[in-house]
Structure 1
Amino acid sequence: MRVFTCSVCHQLVFFENTQCVRCGSFLGFDPDAREIVTLPRGYGADEGWHPCANATVAQCNWLVREPGALCPSCTLTRTRPGDGDGEGLEEFAVAESAKRRLLFELGELGLPVEGADERENGLVFDLLSSEEQPVTTGHADGVITLDLAEADDADRVARREQMDEPYRTVLGHFRHEIGHYYWPIVVEPFPELLEQCRDLFGDEREDYGAALERHYAQGPPADWSREHVSAYATMHPWEDWAETWAHYLHISASMQTAAAYGLQMPMSQPGEASQWGFRSTLDAWIPFTIAMNAINRSMGRSDLYPFVITAAVIDKLTFVDRCVKATANARA
């Protein structure tokens, strides 16, 4: 995430802010410019900005040009809890906040975000409450479904402990599922990339149902950490891709934030290798995560980034970076 400031008083403001705490100016996010806009005289003034129609229900601070319109983020949400579901709506607002961060990062990376009205199997979100019926978080043909119970901290921690996971967040879910959405866009159409992907991640044509059954019956291989970023990534090549994609987004967003706040990070492998594209980012990422984890421990918290990046995982992350950059360059 980049650093934003109020253009009136130059106070530091954040991505979710709707008002400057120093001068009182209204703030909103311009989705086209991907910048925080300062509205000294409020909405609908000479600037012509209006709040998103979901400003209250989704606590959305994105701006629109037409009064009563939905912003590009809220437009992608196909299903949400009903107006009478108070708890579901609270969780919905948390999920929408994470979704807006996801979409901002995708824009920064130059990746296409096309809804169902723009292309076949376009991106849509079903954000559903599991209070009355089971909801399975996942992706299918452009539809990302999230069980909104994941937006409840206590519920999510209980699930993380039950599944013996080191990390579980709403934003993490979105980053994983969006990896499934992008695979047919950034890999499948290109024979050379598809072949390389299968060499690194395995053949995605493997029966997914059988792989799922095997994973939950037998668990991951004992040596899974040598080749995979998480135990779940061992289940099927598609899940390995999605888990690696999610970590690529973790790294990209965190390193942009660190740079924006002026944090200096030493390279873990000085020399020529540090100048080699995404490898130089990873050279900085590894010592950065060590420092972040040490700070968390100093505060009595568990590790912020509880993962190990091996040589095999680095190769996979570098491949994801190549796919992202090829797609972004083709759109430029």
Structure 2
Amino acid sequence: MRAFACPVCHGYIAFESDQCTSCAAWVGLVLPSQEMVAIDVDPGATVVVGGRAWTHCTQRRTLECNWLTPADQEAEQRGRCLACSLIRREPDADDTLAREKLVPAVRALRRLVYQLDDLHLPLTPWWRQDGGLAFDLLSSYTAGKKVIIGHAGGVITIDVVETLDDYRERLRVALGEPYRTVLGHFRHEVGHYYQNILVENGDGAARHLDACRALFGDEQVSYSDAIERHYAFGAPKGWEESFISEYATMHPWEDFAECFAHYLHIADTIDTTREAGMVLRADRVRFSAPRDVAPLESYDDAPIEQLLFDWRWISLFFNRVNTAMGKPPLYPFELPPAVVAKLGFVHRVVRDTARERQAGAAL
């Protein structure tokens, strides 16, 4: 995640903030230019960026959104920024309990959308194209029935009750998961979406599908049978040698989605590390380190092994920081060669897609 600076005093501004804590200037985030810009607090205020007028998202108060949206946007966008416009269904306005939990859920959604845009992955909204990306953010506490987290036909469903720490922790322990967060849910489910549109269909099928099946398995096998088998017998013995998590063993679709989510975890944390100016100095640590680790500005042209080498040493540091605070390790996962190969495939799909989209935009 980029470190944002106040356009007035140049102090640090958090990704979620709409006001500088140092000089009190009101700001908003413009996604295409990836910058915070100064803008009057009035709802009708505008600011020109890149030759286009931008104004506050209509969800600024309701969902605590600090993003700006084009003043001349499409009517279907409902006055919302791109991230908020991707929400297809949400709790009713009078469902105050669910609406309260919706705010942190959408905060995680904005982080997801920012990263996907930064990676130059396609973000075609549901209101612009059938099968486009959509989010149903509902509450199993107030919807009258259990909300099943999942993806189908471009629609990602998230249970906003997952924002409750005690609820999410109970499930994490019951399911034997070393990691479970709302942002993690978003990243996993969007992995299903991108496997569908970038690997299994269109031009992606001709270029990537055979390689995907060779690494992850045949996605055509029965998903319902796989679910039944997984919850009846659990992960196969020795799963750690080929999979990043027990859940990934259930079906090739879940294996891909888990690896896609981890790719986003790793890429975002390394970006955040670089933006903080952090460098691991081999001559300053008390243990043997092979070289200095300075996160790259971009790993676009680097092999996955270089990204994961840097990540190994950076995550070692963050794991130690977490345990120093009495918390579990930040990244409690091992990356065996088989998983490295799978992450390498995700890396190729992401970078090939980005290059093609950038080349098309330049024409």
Q: TM-score, normalised by structure 2?
A: 0.86
What's the counterpart of residue 20 of structure 2?
A: 20
Counterpart of 2:262 in structure 1: which amino acid?
Answer: H
What's the counterpart of residue 122 of structure 1?
A: 132
What's the counterpart of residue 230 of structure 1?
A: 245
CA distance in 2, matches of 1:328, 1:49: 26
- How big is each residue's C-alpha offset from its partner over 1:186-211, in whole Å with a ceiling of 9 and x where there is no partner? 21233241111111000000110000
Q: Secondary structure at the match of 2:210?
A: helix
**How much does 1:89 deviate?**
0.7
- How big is each residue's C-alpha offset from its partner over 1:38-67, in whole Å with a ceiling of 9 and x where there is no partner? 226766446254321111221111112439
CA distance in 2, matches of 1:42, 1:257: 31
**How much does 1:265 deviate?**
3.7
- How big is each residue's C-alpha offset from its partner over 1:79-118, in whole Å with a ceiling of 9 and x where there is no partner? 1111111221111011100000000000110101001233
Q: 276-285 vs 205-214, which deviates more?
A: 276-285
Q: Is the 8 Å Cα contact of residues 45 and 56 (structure 2) preserved in structure 1?
A: no
CA distance in 1, matches of 2:5, 2:40: 13
Contiguous gaps of at least 5 residues in structure 1: none
Q: Is the 8 Å Cα contact of residues 46 and 71 (structure 2) preserved in structure 1?
A: no
What's the counterpart of residue 183 of structure 1?
A: 195
Counterpart of 2:19 in structure 1: which amino acid?
Answer: Q
- How big is each residue's C-alpha offset from its partner over 1:215-261, in whole Å with a ceiling of 9 and x where there is no partner? 00000012111100000000000000000000000011001000000
Of 79, 92, 98 in structure 2, the residue corresponding to residue 88 of structure 1 is 98
CA distance in 2, matches of 1:56, 1:43: 10
Q: Is the 8 Å Cα contact of residues 266 and 287 (structure 1) preserved in structure 2?
A: no
Q: Is the 8 Å Cα contact of residues 39 and 46 (structure 2) preserved in structure 1?
A: no
Of 28, 35, 57 in structure 1, the residue corresponding to residue 62 of structure 2 is 57
CA distance in 1, matches of 2:46, 2:151: 42
What's the counterpart of residue 210 of structure 1?
A: 225
Q: Secondary structure at the match of 1:166?
A: coil
Q: 115-124 vs 10-19, which deviates more?
A: 115-124
**How much does 1:120 deviate?**
2.9
Q: Is the 8 Å Cα contact of residues 43 and 49 (structure 1) preserved in structure 2?
A: no
What's the counterpart of residue 143 of structure 1?
A: 155
CA distance in 1, matches of 2:199, 2:148: 26
Q: How many residues align?
A: 330
CA distance in 1, matches of 2:104, 2:344: 31
What's the counterpart of residue 32 of structure 2?
A: 32
Q: Secondary structure at the match of 1:217?
A: helix
Q: Is the 8 Å Cα contact of residues 46 and 55 (structure 2) preserved in structure 1?
A: no
Q: Is the 8 Å Cα contact of residues 121 and 141 (structure 1) preserved in structure 2?
A: yes
What's the counterpart of residue 158 of structure 1?
A: 170
Q: Is the 8 Å Cα contact of residues 26 and 42 (structure 1) preserved in structure 2?
A: no
Are positions 1:73 and 2:83 aligned together? yes
From the superposition, tell whether residues 60 and 293 of structure 1 become closer, same or farther in structure 2 (CA, over 3 Å): same
Q: Secondary structure at the match of 1:306?
A: coil
What's the counterpart of residue 9 of structure 2?
A: 9
CA distance in 1, matches of 2:257, 2:111: 18
From the superposition, tell whether residues 40 and 51 of structure 1 become closer, same or farther in structure 2 (CA, over 3 Å): closer
Q: What is the percentage of aligned positions where both structures have the same residue? A: 42
CA distance in 2, matches of 1:111, 1:79: 23
Q: Is the 8 Å Cα contact of residues 116 and 123 (structure 1) preserved in structure 2?
A: yes
Q: Is the 8 Å Cα contact of residues 25 and 42 (structure 1) preserved in structure 2?
A: no
